[in-house]
Amino acid sequence: MKKIINDPANVVPEMVDGMVRSYPQYLEKIKDTAAVVRADKDSMSGKVGIVSGGGSGHEPTHAGFVGKGMLSAAVCGQVFTSPTPDQIYEAIKAVDQGKGVFLVIKNYSGDVMNFDMAKDMADMDNIKVKSIVVDDDIAVENSTFTQGRRGVAGTIFMHKIVGALAQEGASLDEIDATAKKVLPNIKTIAVALSAATNPETGKPGFVLKDDEIEYGVGIHSEPGYRREKIRPAKDLVTELVGKLNDEMHLEGHKKYAVLVNGMGATPLMEQYIFSNDLLDKLNEFNVNPSFMKVGNYMTSLDMAGISLTIFELADEKWLEYLNKPVETIAW
Amino acid sequence: MKKIINDPANVVPEMVDGMVRSYPQYLEKIKDTAAVVRADKDSMSGKVGIVSGGGSGHEPTHAGFVGKGMLSAAVCGQVFTSPTPDQIYEAIKAVDQGKGVFLVIKNYSGDVMNFDMAKDMADMDNIKVKSIVVDDDIAVENSTFTQGRRGVAGTIFMHKIVGALAQEGASLDEIDATAKKVLPNIKTIAVALSAATNPETGKPGFVLKDDEIEYGVGIHSEPGYRREKIRPAKDLVTELVGKLNDEMHLEGHKKYAVLVNGMGATPLMEQYIFSNDLLDKLNEFNVNPSFMKVGNYMTSLDMAGISLTIFELADEKWLEYLNKPVETIAW
């Protein structure tokens, strides 16, 4: 393992300090935690708070999306490990403005359990909390750390929608209702060329041969659904779009947002080549995305690979919400 | 070589198409070239045009910085290879509004020669062209493709300053004069953990041992100044800041902008840990940056490593220019 770190046991606190100190205009650390809260407190005033978080190693997720118009706070667990309930609870308290707090949780058993416990703690303080569990990864049912489907890069779209709603003053119930409508419209699937090496263990999550790829891998190196020899970008697009289409039934009269997401070590050059082939493939369905992003948004440390998220914009308002300006490090 | 590409000979045109098609709100391709121009033509009206470019493989540089308030156009050469004079000339013509065009060139012999030839071609069309050659890399004098010092990540700061000046209506002479003042204040140095693999050759630019790093490597895998065993992030910071301080004489009463730049395959986690140590080290000089960015800005495909740029804000206006809003993919 060759990494730019100090003590492997301290990577998360040092990273959080580095983020907050590098971007004090966006982030403040919540005292004695690895949670960060929006520095621009004025923009949270009188609004529902939006809190997300999870294991670290997916940067810029989640702290990179804390700021006006998006998340109010993010809780950073140890690498690939859920944050503790008390830290989530501290984040809920830090952002509550009397209007309640909405939690965006990725579907991992540890996250679901710990965010639920934090919600119970907040209930006892009479802070109203609702939540959504994002399970956008269509690759497999159940997984190493998950009952049901995993929550992956599509979570970013959920952050953006609920963040925009909160910013315009929507109530907790309105945000909850919209999040529930949005959720089944976001689907993601990935292909990996190599696994991440967790600095705490020093070992890669799996090993692929020099000419091998794996479809459907998770963001913590959970197994996918097939290994085969590397193929041209066009073929990877065909595979991933085919799987998504089986779920979503892509049609030209519908509107879509698309996220082509680099897993951490994949150059933008490859992400753009993939995107070019993707847009050709979507054209075969007469689909031309209404909104698109390409880049490293939900990474898995130094994993090489790409995930593809398609979000059907079943409500016209959702495109508006995606396009609303934000003040964050990474959106 | 395992990459998400199709034909290695076509990576650049496919990448450029992918960028332009993914972000039509920012970019248009100049017909029959691999050059891109700002989609928002209104924002260029009556202004000096700003053109940069160079070999591809450094994404999001340069096309990611094309947009209102920054570059007017970017010319994308083959991987790690200067664009041809005719393509640069097409970009100059595409952005000229009768006020002249300013070129930001990185100091590589091929780039300098080809941008100069394009300037001569534009002269014959009576388009006024001036230029700056950025040579911010302090690691070595002369290099594989360079007389003098190499131009690297600090170029982004130059883009931002001249882009902001052009946007506020500065003349070509004013932009040229400011660029000349800015240039000696931007200094960069890098450390590499691994080299990039050029898709056209299929080979890494160099090979380091599993526990080895190299200081001062260039963005095309040009040699640095020392190889040694990997050390903690704090020690890498000490080495790089020490070298920069030898050049710049860091002092607490001066203002600085800082760019911590990932080379392509280095996770943000490592970049933020490095940033945390960096801010500690700068504190020893009583320096607290007035402006900071951390992320993948000037990459070298899948190279692992970090470069550190320090820009002394010798003129108060420069901080204002760095903070002006832009509409680009990547700033």
Considering only CB atoms, which chain A residues are within 8 Å of B306? 4
Catalytic residue ranges of A: 58, 220
Q: A66 vs A41, A81, A330, B18, B189, CA distance in Å?
A: 12, 20, 9, 29, 30
A8-184: in CATH 3.30.460.10? no
pLDDT of residue B237: 98
pLDDT of residue B200: 86
Label the pairing between strands A256-262 and A304-312. Answer: antiparallel
B76 beta partners: B54
Considering only CB atoms, which chain A residues are within 8 Å of B277? 6, 14, 18
Instruction: Number of A to B CB contacts under 8 A, please give it.
Output: 184
**What superfamily would CATH give domain A185-322?**
Dihydroxyacetone kinase; domain 2 (3.30.1180.20)
**pLDDT in single tens digits along all 331 residues of chain A:** 899 999 999 999 999 999 999 999 999 999 999 999 999 999 999 999 999 999 999 999 999 999 999 999 999 999 999 999 999 999 999 999 999 999 999 999 999 999 999 999 999 999 999 999 999 999 999 988 989 999 999 999 999 999 999 999 999 999 999 999 999 999 999 999 999 999 988 999 999 999 999 999 999 999 999 999 999 999 999 999 999 999 999 999 999 999 999 999 999 999 999 999 999 999 999 999 999 999 999 999 999 999 999 999 999 999 999 999 999 999 9
Considering only CB atoms, which chain A residues are within 8 Å of B66? none
- DSSP assigned state of B83: P
Contact (CB<8Å) B2/A194 = yes
Is A196 exposed, middle or buried, given 0-12, 13-18 or 19+ CB atoms closer than 10 A? Answer: buried
pLDDT of residue A1: 86
B163, B150 contact by CB (below 8 A): no
Q: How far is B172 from chain A (nearest CA, A)?
A: 32
Question: What is the rounded CA–CA span in Å between residue B57 and residue A249?
Answer: 36
Question: What is the rounded CA–CA span in Å between residue A167 and residue A157?
Answer: 15
Determine the residue of chain B that is closest to A229 in CA distance.
B2
Contact (CB<8Å) B194/A2 = yes
A199, A294, A306 member nearest B22 (Cβ): A294
Catalytic residue ranges of B: 58, 220
Considering only CB atoms, which chain A residues are within 8 Å of B292? 22-23
pLDDT of residue A79: 97
Domain ranges of chain B: 8-184, 185-322
pTM metric for this prediction: 0.98
A75, A111 contact by CB (below 8 A): no
Q: Which helix (H) or strand (E) holds A214?
A: strand A212-215
Contact (CB<8Å) B266/A4 = yes
Contact (CB<8Å) B18/A276 = yes
Question: What is the rounded CA–CA span in Å between residue B238 and residue A159?
Answer: 38
Phi, psi of B11 (to 5 degrees): -60, -40
Low-confidence ranges of chain B (pLDDT < 70): none
Q: Which two tokens stand for residue B82?
A: 């200067």
Determine the residue of chain B that is closest to A273 in CA distance.
B15
Label the pairing between strands A212-215 and A226-229. Answer: antiparallel
Question: What is the rounded CA–CA span in Å between residue A102 and residue A48?
Answer: 7
Considering only CB atoms, which chain B residues are within 8 Å of A17? 276
Q: Is-same-fold flag (B8-184; B185-322)? A: no
> Where does chain B show beta strands of DSSP type E?
27-29, 35-38, 49-56, 73-79, 101-106, 129-134, 186-194, 212-215, 226-229, 256-262, 291-295, 304-312
Contact (CB<8Å) A4/B271 = yes
In this prediction the ipTM stands at 0.98
pLDDT of residue B115: 98
Residue A331, amino acid: W
- The C-alpha angle with vertex A286 and arms to A281 and A287, in degrees rounded to 5, equals 75
Q: Which two tokens stand for residue B34?
A: 């691999």
B264, B277, B292 member nearest A267 (Cβ): B264
Residue A224, amino acid: G
Question: What is the rounded CA–CA span in Å between residue B40 and residue B327?
Answer: 9
pLDDT per residue over A144-196, tens digit each?
A: 898 999 999 999 999 999 999 999 999 999 999 999 999 999 999 999 999 99
Contact (CB<8Å) B272/A232 = no
Contact (CB<8Å) A59/B268 = yes
Is A117 exposed, middle or buried, given 0-12, 13-18 or 19+ CB atoms closer than 10 A? Answer: middle
